Structure 1
Protein backbone atom coordinates (compact mmCIF):
# COMPACT_ATOMS: atom_id res chain seq x y z
CA UNK A 1 0.00 0.00 0.00
CA UNK A 2 1.11 3.55 -0.75
CA UNK A 3 0.19 6.37 1.60
CA UNK A 4 -0.17 10.02 0.59
CA UNK A 5 -0.34 12.42 3.53
CA UNK A 6 -1.40 16.06 3.36
CA UNK A 7 -0.54 18.23 6.34
CA UNK A 8 -2.89 20.88 7.71
CA UNK A 9 -5.08 21.90 10.62
CA UNK A 10 -8.66 20.68 11.16
CA UNK A 11 -11.56 23.07 11.54
CA UNK A 12 -13.41 25.66 9.52
CA UNK A 13 -11.25 28.55 10.82
CA UNK A 14 -8.12 26.99 9.22
CA UNK A 15 -9.72 25.70 6.02
CA UNK A 16 -8.45 28.37 3.61
CA UNK A 17 -5.13 29.15 5.31
CA UNK A 18 -1.64 28.79 3.85
CA UNK A 19 -0.84 26.06 6.37
CA UNK A 20 -3.61 23.87 4.90
CA UNK A 21 -2.30 23.59 1.37
CA UNK A 22 -1.44 19.91 2.08
CA UNK A 23 -5.11 19.22 2.91
CA UNK A 24 -6.12 20.95 -0.35
CA UNK A 25 -3.78 18.68 -2.33
CA UNK A 26 -5.34 15.59 -0.69
CA UNK A 27 -8.83 16.88 -1.52
CA UNK A 28 -7.79 17.39 -5.15
CA UNK A 29 -6.25 13.92 -5.32
CA UNK A 30 -9.37 12.36 -3.76
CA UNK A 31 -11.46 14.07 -6.43
CA UNK A 32 -9.18 12.90 -9.24
CA UNK A 33 -9.06 9.30 -7.97
CA UNK A 34 -12.80 9.20 -7.21
CA UNK A 35 -11.98 8.22 -3.63
CA UNK A 36 -14.58 6.86 -1.21
CA UNK A 37 -15.59 9.02 1.75
CA UNK A 38 -13.01 9.57 4.48
CA UNK A 39 -13.05 7.42 7.62
CA UNK A 40 -11.58 8.25 11.03
CA UNK A 41 -8.79 6.36 12.80
CA UNK A 42 -5.76 7.34 14.91
CA UNK A 43 -6.78 11.02 15.00
CA UNK A 44 -6.88 11.27 11.24
CA UNK A 45 -9.22 11.22 8.27
CA UNK A 46 -8.28 8.69 5.63
CA UNK A 47 -9.62 6.73 2.70
CA UNK A 48 -8.31 3.70 0.82
CA UNK A 49 -8.58 3.51 -2.95
CA UNK A 50 -8.13 0.26 -4.88
CA UNK A 51 -6.22 0.95 -8.09
CA UNK A 52 -4.66 -1.26 -10.76
CA UNK A 53 -1.24 -0.31 -9.29
CA UNK A 54 -2.34 -1.36 -5.79
CA UNK A 55 -3.98 0.20 -2.75
CA UNK A 56 -3.53 3.91 -2.05
CA UNK A 57 -4.36 5.58 1.25
CA UNK A 58 -5.00 9.33 1.40
CA UNK A 59 -4.50 10.81 4.88
CA UNK A 60 -5.29 14.14 6.57
CA UNK A 61 -3.99 14.14 10.17
CA UNK A 62 -6.53 15.83 12.45
CA UNK A 63 -4.10 16.31 15.34
CA UNK A 64 -3.22 19.86 14.30
CA UNK A 65 -0.06 20.49 12.34
CA UNK A 66 2.47 20.30 15.18
CA UNK A 67 1.36 16.78 16.15
CA UNK A 68 0.97 15.24 12.67
CA UNK A 69 3.26 12.31 13.50
CA UNK A 70 0.85 11.16 16.23
CA UNK A 71 -1.60 10.23 13.47
CA UNK A 72 0.74 9.08 10.70
CA UNK A 73 3.02 6.81 12.76
CA UNK A 74 0.21 4.63 14.17
CA UNK A 75 -1.57 4.48 10.77
CA UNK A 76 1.64 3.30 9.09
CA UNK A 77 2.15 0.67 11.79
CA UNK A 78 -1.46 -0.54 11.66
CA UNK A 79 -1.47 -0.88 7.85
CA UNK A 80 2.20 -1.99 7.67
CA UNK A 81 3.26 0.82 5.31
CA UNK A 82 7.00 1.24 4.70
CA UNK A 83 8.76 4.64 4.69
CA UNK A 84 9.56 4.38 0.97
CA UNK A 85 5.81 4.00 0.30
CA UNK A 86 4.76 7.41 1.65
CA UNK A 87 4.65 10.93 0.25
CA UNK A 88 3.99 13.96 2.46
CA UNK A 89 2.52 17.16 0.98
CA UNK A 90 3.01 20.36 2.96
CA UNK A 91 3.45 24.13 2.83
CA UNK A 92 6.94 25.61 2.57
CA UNK A 93 7.89 29.18 3.49
CA UNK A 94 11.18 28.95 1.61
CA UNK A 95 9.49 28.50 -1.77
CA UNK A 96 7.59 31.29 -3.49
CA UNK A 97 3.88 30.77 -4.15
CA UNK A 98 3.59 28.79 -7.35
CA UNK A 99 6.78 26.78 -6.74
CA UNK A 100 6.87 23.05 -6.05
CA UNK A 101 9.82 20.89 -4.90
CA UNK A 102 9.95 17.14 -4.57
CA UNK A 103 12.54 15.51 -2.30
CA UNK A 104 13.28 11.99 -1.10
CA UNK A 105 14.65 13.07 2.28
CA UNK A 106 15.69 16.09 4.30
CA UNK A 107 15.38 17.93 7.56
CA UNK A 108 12.20 19.52 8.86
CA UNK A 109 13.52 22.93 7.82
CA UNK A 110 11.76 24.56 10.75
CA UNK A 111 8.35 23.09 9.80
CA UNK A 112 6.70 21.79 12.97
CA UNK A 113 4.51 19.26 11.15
CA UNK A 114 7.59 17.75 9.54
CA UNK A 115 9.43 17.79 12.90
CA UNK A 116 6.60 15.72 14.37
CA UNK A 117 6.64 13.27 11.45
CA UNK A 118 10.42 12.82 11.62
CA UNK A 119 10.22 12.26 15.40
CA UNK A 120 7.43 9.66 15.13
CA UNK A 121 8.80 7.89 12.05
CA UNK A 122 12.39 7.89 13.33
CA UNK A 123 13.78 9.01 9.98
CA UNK A 124 14.17 11.96 7.61
CA UNK A 125 14.23 9.57 4.63
CA UNK A 126 10.77 9.75 3.15
CA UNK A 127 9.30 11.31 0.02
CA UNK A 128 7.86 14.79 0.24
CA UNK A 129 6.29 17.42 -1.94
CA UNK A 130 6.89 20.97 -0.72
CA UNK A 131 4.31 23.50 -1.89
CA UNK A 132 5.55 27.09 -1.84
CA UNK A 133 3.64 29.68 0.19
CA UNK A 134 6.38 32.33 0.37
CA UNK A 135 7.56 34.32 3.39
CA UNK A 136 5.67 37.06 5.21
CA UNK A 137 6.46 40.68 4.38
CA UNK A 138 5.90 43.92 6.19
CA UNK A 139 6.87 42.59 9.61
CA UNK A 140 4.09 39.98 9.79
CA UNK A 141 5.01 37.12 12.14
CA UNK A 142 5.31 33.62 10.65
CA UNK A 143 2.51 32.06 12.77
CA UNK A 144 0.11 34.82 11.71
CA UNK A 145 1.19 34.44 8.08
CA UNK A 146 0.75 30.67 7.80
CA UNK A 147 -2.67 30.89 9.48
CA UNK A 148 -3.85 33.60 7.08
CA UNK A 149 -5.62 32.97 3.76
CA UNK A 150 -3.86 33.38 0.43
CA UNK A 151 -4.17 36.76 -1.23
CA UNK A 152 -6.34 37.17 -4.31
CA UNK A 153 -3.16 37.41 -6.42
CA UNK A 154 -1.69 34.21 -4.93
CA UNK A 155 -4.85 32.12 -5.32
CA UNK A 156 -4.36 31.10 -9.00
CA UNK A 157 -0.73 30.13 -8.33
CA UNK A 158 -1.73 28.00 -5.35
CA UNK A 159 -4.55 26.29 -7.26
CA UNK A 160 -2.05 25.43 -9.99
CA UNK A 161 0.43 24.03 -7.43
CA UNK A 162 -2.29 21.95 -5.74
CA UNK A 163 -3.18 20.50 -9.15
CA UNK A 164 0.50 19.87 -10.00
CA UNK A 165 1.16 18.21 -6.64
CA UNK A 166 -1.88 15.94 -7.13
CA UNK A 167 -0.64 15.09 -10.64
CA UNK A 168 2.81 14.27 -9.24
CA UNK A 169 1.19 11.91 -6.73
CA UNK A 170 -0.78 10.22 -9.52
CA UNK A 171 2.46 9.79 -11.49
CA UNK A 172 4.13 8.27 -8.39
CA UNK A 173 1.49 5.53 -8.34
CA UNK A 174 2.92 4.33 -11.68
CA UNK A 175 6.59 5.42 -11.57
CA UNK A 176 9.49 5.55 -9.08
CA UNK A 177 9.54 8.74 -6.99
CA UNK A 178 13.00 9.68 -8.30
CA UNK A 179 11.62 9.73 -11.84
CA UNK A 180 8.62 11.83 -10.76
CA UNK A 181 10.97 14.15 -8.87
CA UNK A 182 13.10 14.66 -11.98
CA UNK A 183 10.00 15.41 -14.07
CA UNK A 184 8.52 17.99 -11.69
CA UNK A 185 11.50 19.79 -10.16
CA UNK A 186 12.41 22.79 -12.26
CA UNK A 187 9.24 22.49 -14.36
Structure 2
Protein backbone atom coordinates (compact mmCIF):
# COMPACT_ATOMS: atom_id res chain seq x y z
CA UNK A 1 0.00 0.00 0.00
CA UNK A 2 1.19 3.52 -0.83
CA UNK A 3 0.46 6.11 1.82
CA UNK A 4 0.47 9.84 1.33
CA UNK A 5 0.70 12.14 4.34
CA UNK A 6 -0.15 15.81 3.90
CA UNK A 7 1.15 18.08 6.63
CA UNK A 8 -0.84 20.96 8.07
CA UNK A 9 -2.66 22.22 11.12
CA UNK A 10 -6.20 21.12 11.99
CA UNK A 11 -9.08 23.55 12.22
CA UNK A 12 -10.76 26.10 10.00
CA UNK A 13 -8.52 28.91 11.27
CA UNK A 14 -5.58 27.33 9.40
CA UNK A 15 -7.41 26.00 6.32
CA UNK A 16 -6.05 28.44 3.73
CA UNK A 17 -2.66 29.11 5.23
CA UNK A 18 0.71 28.55 3.62
CA UNK A 19 1.54 25.92 6.24
CA UNK A 20 -1.47 23.87 5.11
CA UNK A 21 -0.59 23.23 1.47
CA UNK A 22 0.04 19.58 2.41
CA UNK A 23 -3.58 19.31 3.55
CA UNK A 24 -4.69 21.09 0.37
CA UNK A 25 -2.86 18.50 -1.73
CA UNK A 26 -4.37 15.56 0.17
CA UNK A 27 -7.84 17.09 -0.18
CA UNK A 28 -7.26 17.47 -3.93
CA UNK A 29 -6.00 13.87 -4.18
CA UNK A 30 -9.06 12.67 -2.24
CA UNK A 31 -11.32 14.44 -4.71
CA UNK A 32 -9.35 13.16 -7.72
CA UNK A 33 -9.32 9.57 -6.47
CA UNK A 34 -12.82 9.51 -4.95
CA UNK A 35 -11.48 8.79 -1.44
CA UNK A 36 -13.19 10.15 1.66
CA UNK A 37 -10.62 11.29 4.24
CA UNK A 38 -12.86 11.27 7.30
CA UNK A 39 -11.97 8.18 9.32
CA UNK A 40 -10.34 9.09 12.65
CA UNK A 41 -7.23 6.89 13.01
CA UNK A 42 -3.67 7.26 14.26
CA UNK A 43 -4.18 10.80 15.53
CA UNK A 44 -5.29 11.86 12.07
CA UNK A 45 -7.95 11.70 9.40
CA UNK A 46 -7.57 8.74 7.08
CA UNK A 47 -9.07 7.62 3.80
CA UNK A 48 -8.31 4.51 1.75
CA UNK A 49 -9.01 3.47 -1.80
CA UNK A 50 -7.60 1.92 -4.96
CA UNK A 51 -5.95 3.93 -7.70
CA UNK A 52 -4.73 2.30 -10.91
CA UNK A 53 -4.62 -1.07 -9.14
CA UNK A 54 -2.66 0.30 -6.18
CA UNK A 55 -4.06 0.46 -2.67
CA UNK A 56 -3.68 4.04 -1.42
CA UNK A 57 -4.08 5.62 2.00
CA UNK A 58 -4.37 9.39 2.48
CA UNK A 59 -3.55 10.74 5.94
CA UNK A 60 -3.89 14.21 7.45
CA UNK A 61 -2.32 14.33 10.94
CA UNK A 62 -4.56 16.15 13.43
CA UNK A 63 -1.74 16.66 15.93
CA UNK A 64 -0.69 20.12 14.72
CA UNK A 65 2.39 20.49 12.57
CA UNK A 66 5.06 20.15 15.26
CA UNK A 67 3.76 16.72 16.31
CA UNK A 68 3.06 15.23 12.86
CA UNK A 69 5.46 12.35 13.55
CA UNK A 70 3.12 10.98 16.23
CA UNK A 71 0.42 10.38 13.63
CA UNK A 72 2.89 8.97 11.08
CA UNK A 73 4.36 6.58 13.66
CA UNK A 74 0.91 5.53 14.83
CA UNK A 75 -0.13 4.75 11.27
CA UNK A 76 3.11 2.80 10.63
CA UNK A 77 2.71 0.73 13.76
CA UNK A 78 -0.99 -0.03 13.37
CA UNK A 79 -0.91 -0.85 9.65
CA UNK A 80 2.64 -2.26 9.52
CA UNK A 81 3.28 0.31 6.77
CA UNK A 82 6.67 0.55 5.09
CA UNK A 83 8.54 3.83 4.92
CA UNK A 84 9.53 3.16 1.31
CA UNK A 85 5.81 3.41 0.44
CA UNK A 86 5.41 6.80 2.17
CA UNK A 87 5.18 10.18 0.44
CA UNK A 88 5.05 13.25 2.70
CA UNK A 89 3.68 16.47 1.21
CA UNK A 90 4.48 19.78 2.90
CA UNK A 91 5.23 23.49 2.53
CA UNK A 92 8.77 24.68 1.84
CA UNK A 93 10.10 28.20 2.36
CA UNK A 94 13.14 27.57 0.16
CA UNK A 95 11.12 26.64 -2.91
CA UNK A 96 9.55 29.38 -5.01
CA UNK A 97 5.80 29.83 -4.71
CA UNK A 98 4.05 27.58 -7.20
CA UNK A 99 6.97 25.18 -7.69
CA UNK A 100 7.42 21.67 -6.30
CA UNK A 101 10.58 19.71 -5.47
CA UNK A 102 10.72 15.97 -4.86
CA UNK A 103 13.32 14.30 -2.64
CA UNK A 104 13.76 10.87 -1.13
CA UNK A 105 15.92 11.84 1.84
CA UNK A 106 17.38 14.78 3.72
CA UNK A 107 17.29 16.79 6.88
CA UNK A 108 14.26 18.63 8.20
CA UNK A 109 15.59 21.90 6.81
CA UNK A 110 14.00 23.79 9.70
CA UNK A 111 10.52 22.35 9.06
CA UNK A 112 9.10 21.20 12.39
CA UNK A 113 6.64 18.72 10.87
CA UNK A 114 9.46 16.94 9.04
CA UNK A 115 11.64 17.14 12.15
CA UNK A 116 8.88 15.36 14.10
CA UNK A 117 8.56 12.64 11.43
CA UNK A 118 12.33 12.07 11.44
CA UNK A 119 12.27 11.88 15.25
CA UNK A 120 9.41 9.37 15.34
CA UNK A 121 10.57 7.17 12.45
CA UNK A 122 14.28 7.29 13.26
CA UNK A 123 15.28 8.07 9.68
CA UNK A 124 15.64 10.90 7.19
CA UNK A 125 15.02 8.52 4.29
CA UNK A 126 11.45 8.84 3.03
CA UNK A 127 9.87 10.31 -0.10
CA UNK A 128 8.80 13.94 0.00
CA UNK A 129 7.07 16.50 -2.14
CA UNK A 130 7.98 20.02 -1.07
CA UNK A 131 5.46 22.63 -2.15
CA UNK A 132 6.91 26.10 -2.56
CA UNK A 133 5.64 28.97 -0.46
CA UNK A 134 8.74 31.22 -0.88
CA UNK A 135 10.35 33.21 1.92
CA UNK A 136 8.67 36.24 3.46
CA UNK A 137 9.87 39.79 3.02
CA UNK A 138 12.89 40.66 5.21
CA UNK A 139 11.85 41.44 8.77
CA UNK A 140 8.60 39.45 8.68
CA UNK A 141 8.27 36.78 11.35
CA UNK A 142 8.47 33.29 9.81
CA UNK A 143 5.73 31.85 12.06
CA UNK A 144 3.37 34.70 11.15
CA UNK A 145 4.17 34.20 7.47
CA UNK A 146 3.55 30.44 7.31
CA UNK A 147 0.32 30.86 9.27
CA UNK A 148 -0.93 33.58 6.93
CA UNK A 149 -3.37 32.97 4.09
CA UNK A 150 -2.25 33.09 0.48
CA UNK A 151 -3.15 36.43 -1.10
CA UNK A 152 -5.50 36.41 -4.10
CA UNK A 153 -2.57 37.39 -6.32
CA UNK A 154 -1.02 33.94 -5.68
CA UNK A 155 -4.22 31.91 -6.11
CA UNK A 156 -3.43 30.73 -9.65
CA UNK A 157 0.12 29.67 -8.71
CA UNK A 158 -1.14 27.77 -5.65
CA UNK A 159 -3.87 26.00 -7.63
CA UNK A 160 -1.37 25.02 -10.33
CA UNK A 161 1.08 23.80 -7.68
CA UNK A 162 -1.58 21.63 -6.02
CA UNK A 163 -2.47 20.13 -9.43
CA UNK A 164 1.19 19.47 -10.21
CA UNK A 165 1.66 17.84 -6.79
CA UNK A 166 -1.33 15.57 -7.44
CA UNK A 167 0.03 14.68 -10.88
CA UNK A 168 3.43 13.80 -9.41
CA UNK A 169 1.93 11.68 -6.65
CA UNK A 170 -0.40 9.88 -9.04
CA UNK A 171 2.61 9.11 -11.27
CA UNK A 172 4.57 7.89 -8.22
CA UNK A 173 1.87 5.33 -7.45
CA UNK A 174 2.88 3.31 -10.50
CA UNK A 175 6.51 4.37 -11.05
CA UNK A 176 9.66 4.32 -8.91
CA UNK A 177 10.17 7.55 -6.97
CA UNK A 178 13.49 8.29 -8.69
CA UNK A 179 11.65 8.27 -12.05
CA UNK A 180 9.01 10.54 -10.56
CA UNK A 181 11.74 12.91 -9.36
CA UNK A 182 13.32 12.97 -12.84
CA UNK A 183 9.97 13.80 -14.44
CA UNK A 184 8.75 16.45 -11.98
CA UNK A 185 11.91 18.17 -10.67
CA UNK A 186 12.35 20.82 -13.34
Question: TM-score category by the smaller chain?
Answer: over 0.9
The alpha-carbon deviation at position 56 of structure 1 amounts to: 0.5
Name the residue aligned to 2:147: 147
Stretches of 4+ aligned residues off by more than 2 angstroms: 50-54
- Residues 63-84 of structure 1 deviation map (CA, whole Å, 9 limit, x = unaligned): 0000000101110111111111
- Residues 18-54 of structure 1 deviation map (CA, whole Å, 9 limit, x = unaligned): 0000000000000110113420012100101123432
Name the residue aligned to 1:56: 56
Name the residue aligned to 2:109: 109
The separation in 2 between residues aligned to 1:71 and 1:138, in whole angstroms, is 34
Name the residue aligned to 1:164: 164
Name the residue aligned to 2:129: 129
- Maintained 8 Å contact 2:37/2:48: no
- Maintained 8 Å contact 2:37/2:45: no
Deviates more, 1:55-64 or 1:32-41: 32-41
The alpha-carbon deviation at position 131 of structure 1 amounts to: 0.3
Partner SS state of residue 68, structure 1: helix
The alpha-carbon deviation at position 107 of structure 1 amounts to: 0.4
TM-score by length of 2: 0.97
Partner SS state of residue 46, structure 2: strand
Name the residue aligned to 1:99: 99
The separation in 1 between residues aligned to 2:174 and 2:117, in whole angstroms, is 25
The separation in 2 between residues aligned to 1:93 and 1:164, in whole angstroms, is 18
Backbone CA RMSD of aligned residues: 0.9
Name the residue aligned to 1:20: 20
The alpha-carbon deviation at position 121 of structure 1 amounts to: 0.7
- Maintained 8 Å contact 1:53/1:173: no
The separation in 2 between residues aligned to 1:182 and 1:39, in whole angstroms, is 34
* Structure 2, unpaired ranges of 5+: none
Change in 2 beyond 3 A, CA 1:37/1:65: closer
The alpha-carbon deviation at position 87 of structure 1 amounts to: 0.2
Name the residue aligned to 2:118: 118
For 1:3-14, what aligned pairs fall within 5 Å after superposition? 3-14=3-14
